[in-house]
């Protein structure tokens, strides 16, 4: 793209600075030997050391990973099936289904958190890891099915017929045709779901129970009575993981270059 008058270029740069400058400062501060990070007082890895030796952090990180991975896997399965149903059947129910799945992307987190909490209380489900897991699955499904649906819309179903014609049964078709062509979409959706799950705060805050804090919840409590420097280090690690996953999922979603 060519910028004719530089204006859009400056705006773009300004926006990027606005987005990423705080993160850069945070990253620098995570190596700063000053506890409150007001001024540079030397390079240190102390905060990182403190981070990986804090049992509470490791415990909540474990919780986050358990929930993130299980919510990712579950939503990959359900979201893929949902995408297939929406793509394959053009009935009115499926149009409604699609609308429901996509509006969920726009529902405010606070509303979802509240409604899920009320729901869990109504069915007498004890708040804990299980309720967080269910809550995360509900919003992850939408993202997975959205990504997989995009993949399906570019899928030429004629090749399924061609495979059948060449002697393939359903097992071979699934393993050698469907999965290789659709799995990038499923994996990308899953990675997206994982990143969303691992740093969700609002919904988790509502449905979490005693002893089942996830990492974002713990970070929030550290904000109030912890060391901000350790927090910086933690956030940097978080950033690295999130960026990697988003990058991978983008690579998978992007259409293959042809010719």
Using CB under 8 A, list all residues that contact another protein.
156, 158-159, 161-169, 172, 176-177, 180-181, 256, 258-259
Alpha carbons 186 and 79: distance in angstroms, whole number? 9
**Which C-beta is closer to another protein: that of 35 or that of 251?**
251
Minimum CB separation of residue 183 from another protein in Å reads: 10
In the complex, least distance from residue 129 CB atom to another protein, rounded to whole angstroms: 39
> 224 or 256: whose CB is closer to another protein?
256
**Shortest CA distance to 254 belongs to which of 179, 187, 197?**
187
Closer of 137 and 187 to another protein (Cβ):
187
Nearer CB in complex with another protein: 178/220: 178
- Smallest distance from another protein to CB 83, Å: 19
Compute the least distance from the CB of residue 14 to another protein, in Å: 40
CB of 77 to another protein, least distance (A): 22
Residue closer to another protein by CB (options 39, 156) is: 156
Indicate the residue among 124 and 259 with the shorter CB distance to another protein.
Answer: 259
Minimum CB–partner distance for residue 166 and another protein (Å): 4
């Amino acid at each position: 793209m060519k910028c004719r008058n530089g204006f859009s270029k400056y705006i773009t740069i300004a926006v990027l600075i606005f987005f990423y400058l705080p993160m850069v400062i945070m990253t620098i501060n995570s190596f700063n030997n000053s506890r409150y990070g007001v001024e540079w007082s030397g390079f240190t890895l102390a905060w990182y050391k403190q981070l990986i030796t804090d049992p509470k952090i490791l415990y909540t990180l474990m919780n986050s990973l358990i929930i993130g991975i299980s919510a990712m896997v579950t939503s990959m399965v359900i979201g893929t099936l949902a995408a297939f149903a929406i793509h394959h059947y053009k009935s009115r129910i499926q149009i409604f289904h699609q609308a429901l799945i996509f509006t969920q992307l726009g529902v405010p987190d606070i509303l979802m958190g509240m409604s899920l909490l009320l729901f869990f209380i109504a069915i007498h489900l004890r708040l804990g890891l299980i309720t967080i897991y269910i809550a995360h699955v509900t919003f992850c499904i939408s993202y997975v099915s959205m990504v997989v649906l995009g993949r399906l819309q570019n899928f030429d179903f004629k090749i399924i017929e061609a495979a059948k014609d060449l002697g393939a049964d359903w097992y071979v078709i699934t393993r050698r045709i469907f999965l290789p062509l659709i799995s990038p979409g499923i994996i990308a959706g899953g990675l997206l779901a994982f990143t969303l799950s691992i740093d969700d705060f609002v919904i988790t805050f509502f449905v979490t129970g005693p002893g089942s804090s996830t990492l974002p919840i713990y970070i929030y409590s550290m904000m109030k009575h912890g060391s901000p420097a350790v927090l910086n280090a933690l956030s940097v690690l978080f950033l690295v993981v999130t960026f990697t996953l988003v990058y991978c999922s983008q690579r998978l979603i992007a259409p293959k270059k042809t010719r």
